[in-house]
Amino acid sequence: MAAAIKFVEGGTITSARGFLAGATYAGLKTYAADKLDLGLVLSESPCTAAGVFTTSTIKSPSVTVTQEHLAQGRVRGLVVNAGIANACVGEQGYKDAQEAASLAAARLGVQRQEVLVCSTGVIGVELPMSLIRAGMAKIQVTRDGGHLLARAMMTTDTRPKEAAVTFQVEGRQVHLGGVAKGSGMIHPNMATMLAFAATDAAVETQFLQAALREAADASFNMLTVDGDTSTNDSLVVLANGAAGNRPITANSPDAATFKDALQQLCVHLTREMARDGEGASRLIVVEVNGARNTQDARRAARTIAASSLVKTAVYGSDPNWGRVLAALGRSGAAVDENQIDLFVSGVCIMEGGKPIPFHREAVVSLMRGPEVSFRLQLNLGEGQATAWGCDLTEQYVMINSAYTT
C-alpha cells in the first residue's frame, strides 16, 4: 500500500521545518499591484539540492550562477528577484548574479556559493544593484515567510502559487512545500517559470536530482501554454534533513513515496500556473491513454493542449473535436484513426474514430465551467500522459500587444 500523501491547508515552501523565507519591495517591479519583488529563502542547516533549468541556448547568468553553486554541493539558501530577468545584458549580468548571491549570503549569514540565484522579468535590462543592495538589508526571514516569497516572485501572475504536502518517511512525518510563478512561454517578456520546493526530509543528492527530473517531466514539462522555454526557467528543490530520517536513496523503502509526493506537488503547482495563464478564462486538461509509449502520449497531449485552435475553441465553449484530432494527427504520435475514443469533459463524442451523437448543449454547458478536459484513448499500447494548458482569449492578445509600450 502506498503511504498517504496529504496536502497541507495553507501550505507553502516554509511548511517544511527548518526553512525560513521573507521578501521586500526593492523597486524592481513597477507594473504590478502587489509590490514585493525581492525574496530570500534560508535553511537552518545545509541542504542537498537539485535543479532543472531552461534548455534555451540564450540563458540568464542567474541560471549559470545557480548551476555553478549547485554543482559545488551543499546549499543554504536562495535569492529571487522579479521585474528584471537579468538576461541579454552582456558580461555585467554574470557579475550582478554573483553579487546578488553575495549580498544574500551576507544577509543570511552563509557562504556565497551556498546561495542560488533566480531572476524573472524584462529581458535586456541590467539589474539595478543599488536597489537590490538596499532591498536586501530590509528582508526578514521568518517561519511563515513562504507566503511573502510566493508574492515576491509574481510578475503578470494574478495570484501567488504555493502548496505543501505531508507524508511519512521511516514513520516520521515529513513535509514538502513549494512556491511557483508564471507559466513559461506565456510570460516570455516577463520571461519565466520559476518553482522552488523544500523538504525537511533528508534526501541523497543523486536520487533527489533523478526524482526532480521525473517529476518535472510529468508536470512542468507538460505545461504547454505556448509550449516554450524562457531564458530563466528554473526549478530547484532543497532537502535539509530536519526530520532526522536516514537520507532517502533510490533503494530506500520510502523512495517511491517521496517521488510520488514531489510529483503531486509539482502537478499541483503546474495546474495553478496553467489556470493563471495570461488572459486565461479556464484550465485545459488533456489526458492521453493507450498510446504506443509514454513519449507518444506526452507528445500528443502537449500538442493538443498547445494548439491555438483547441485553445480558442475552449474559450468559445465549442466541442470542436476536429481541431483535437487535427492536433493529434500532426503531433507525431502513432495513431490508428479507427481506434480513437474521445471524451470532452467526460462525455464520449467519438468512439472507434467515428463521431457519435451527443447532446451538444449539454457539452457546451460543461465547457463553460472553469476546467475543460479532453480524454483520448488511442487503444495502441500502455502510454499515458496528462498535459495542462489554458484557453486563448482576446485578453491574452491585449496584454501581450501592449506590454512594453
Q: How far is the CB of 231 from a copy of itself (least distance, A)?
A: 6
CA–CA separation, 111 and 100 (whole Å): 12
Closest Cα partner for 234 from 370, 67, 47? 67
Q: How far is the CB of 31 from a copy of itself (least distance, A)?
A: 14
Measured from the CB atom, is 362 or 397 closer to a copy of itself? 397
Quick one: which H or E segment has residue 61? helix 61-71
Measured from the CB atom, is 256 or 397 closer to a copy of itself? 397
Q: How far is the CB of 318 from a copy of itself (least distance, A)?
A: 5
Measured from the CB atom, is 244 or 352 closer to a copy of itself? 352
Q: How far is the CB of 54 from a copy of itself (least distance, A)?
A: 8
Q: How far is the CB of 68 from a copy of itself (least distance, A)?
A: 18
Measured from the CB atom, is 19 or 315 closer to a copy of itself? 315
Greatest extent of the chain over all pairs of C-alpha atoms, in Å: 67
The grid coordinates listed for 187 are 510570460
The grid coordinates listed for 323 are 481541431
- Kindly list the residues in this chain that would bind a copy of itself in the complex (CB under 8 A): 54-59, 85, 87-88, 90, 122-124, 185, 188-189, 191, 226, 228-231, 307-309, 312-313, 315-318, 320-323, 325-330, 332-335, 337-338, 353-355, 364, 392-394, 396-398, 400-405
Residue listed under C-alpha cell 504547454: 224
Measured from the CB atom, is 102 or 320 closer to a copy of itself? 320
Quick one: which H or E segment has residue 69? helix 61-71
Three-state SS at 5: coil
Contact, 241 vs 68, CB < 8 A?
no
Measured from the CB atom, is 3 or 88 closer to a copy of itself? 88
- Asked whether the CA dihedral 392, 394, 397, 402 is positive or negative, the reply is negative
Closest Cα partner for 74 from 112, 103, 100? 112
Q: How far is the CB of 89 from a copy of itself (least distance, A)?
A: 8
Q: Which residues are catalytic?
A: 192
First to last CA, the chain: 56
Contact, 286 vs 301, CB < 8 A?
yes
